[in-house]
Copies of this chain bind each other. A is one copy, B any other.
Amino acid sequence: MTNINQRVVVELVERSYPIEIGSGIVADVAAALSRLQRVTKAMVISDENVATHYASVVDASLRQAGIEFSLLRVPAGEVSKSAANAEMLWRKMLDLGADRSTVVIALGGGVVGDLAGFVAATYARGIPFFQIPTTLLAQVDSSVGGKVGINLPGAKNMVGAFWQPIGVLIDIDVLTTLPIREYRAGLAEVVKYGMILDADFFQFLCDRVEPINTREPNVLAEIVACCCQLKADVVREDERELTGRRSVLNYGHTFCHAIEAATEYGAYLHGEAVAIGMLCASRLAERLGRIDADVTQLQEDLLNRLELPTKVPENLQSEDLLALMQRDKKVEHGKLRYVLPTRVGHVELVDDVQPSDALAAIEASR
């Protein structure tokens, strides 16, 4: 028997969709789909690692329900989020007879979710999209918000769309077999939610470092549901990132994207770069007199206890990182906008930051 023990509803202007969270529920994917809409055909997009572990479970469920489907695999890793792979998937789906009623199922981490979501958003001008995130990062981040996309050389997520899933299935069991490094990377985004939106949740994390580090399922289910709910509240207020409200989710991400681009998406997992990026942003806030050093220290302590990287690596030049930051999608009319904390649990958008201050914040994070 499977066990759904948390449910978050993401409420959007045009429609809402459910996130079901539980143990072993990936085995019931066909039932979850049929609760959402009539499904006769599906394209399951996955990466080679994830497919090895979970494709057979999904396969059995869809087969038993009489849903025609194909499994399309891409190599694991950030490099798969390319225009070439998007085109490969579009062509395969066309050859397999995918039509407007075909559901794209993303079975994998953030890379698979973003790529599959972009393909779903653009194939036949948009077809239904269902997510089964298999990493902690994807569960707390990609499953809410509808941001899908691919990378350009040197610019992460530079091409994409807003495309909301019809539903999300989060199986907590997959976290117990997740490589420890990937698990820890996801925790960085979890810490981010506490910093930007909820001081109580930040304290909850500080108080439960041990069960988090041993991956206690009930604590994980609670954490994932809390993050999804926090993000859903923000996304509901600003679905297409127009008012600025949604930008709070980018805390640490301007520095993070530059670090990832400078290392060609090869040295750090996204969450690891987020951890470093948050500390850079926090030190920038210190320089601007917005917070005291103890707010940065609280984050650094928690990230250290979760065994995440906290330092900008020595081999990256600060000037190079700054130049990459200027290519960020958040730039408008040539100006970069930073997301900076005012205390634990609250951040603000800040324009007109001097490049010299950003540079100093990077230097202080080595």
Q: Which A residues are within 8 Å of any B CB, using their own CB?
A: 38, 40-41, 83, 86-87, 90-91, 94, 97, 99-101, 121-126, 147, 149, 152-155, 157-162, 240-241, 327, 329-334
Judge whether B333 and A91 touch: CB under 8 Å: no
Q: A83-B87, A97-B327, A155-B94 are contacts. A149–B125 as well, Cβ < 8 Å? A: yes
Judge whether B100 and A153 touch: CB under 8 Å: no
A152 to B28, CA, bound (A): 34
Judge whether B152 and A90 touch: CB under 8 Å: yes
Q: Which residues of B contact A152 (CB under 8 A)?
A: 90-91, 94
Q: Which residues of B contact A153 (CB under 8 A)?
A: 91
Q: Which residues of B contact A38 (CB under 8 A)?
A: 333
Q: A83-B83, A90-B83, A155-B94 are contacts. A331–B161 as well, Cβ < 8 Å? A: no
A214 to B278, CA, bound (A): 67
A162 in complex: contacting residue of B126, B154, B330, B333, CB < 8 Å: B126
Judge whether B83 and A122 touch: CB under 8 Å: no
Closest B-chain residue to A157, C-beta based? Answer: B125
Judge whether A159 and B123 touch: CB under 8 Å: yes
Judge whether B125 and A331 touch: CB under 8 Å: no
Judge whether A160 and B122 touch: CB under 8 Å: yes
Closest-CB distance, A150 to chain B (whole angstroms) = 9
A19 to B184, CA, bound (A): 53
Q: Which residues of B contact A126 (CB under 8 A)?
A: 161-162, 240
Judge whether B97 and A125 touch: CB under 8 Å: no
A334 to B102, CA, bound (A): 10
Q: A90-B152, A152-B90 are contacts. A101–B332 as well, Cβ < 8 Å? A: yes
Judge whether A90 and B158 touch: CB under 8 Å: yes
A126 to B122, CA, bound (A): 13
Closest B-chain residue to A327, C-beta based? Answer: B94
Q: A100-B329, A100-B332 are contacts. A158–B83 as well, Cβ < 8 Å? A: no
Top 4 A-B pairs, shortest CB-CB distance: A83-B87, A99-B331, A124-B329, A101-B332
A94 to B331, CA, bound (A): 12
A95 to B94, CA, bound (A): 32
A231 to B349, CA, bound (A): 42
Q: Which residues of B contact A158 (CB under 8 A)?
A: 90, 94, 123-124
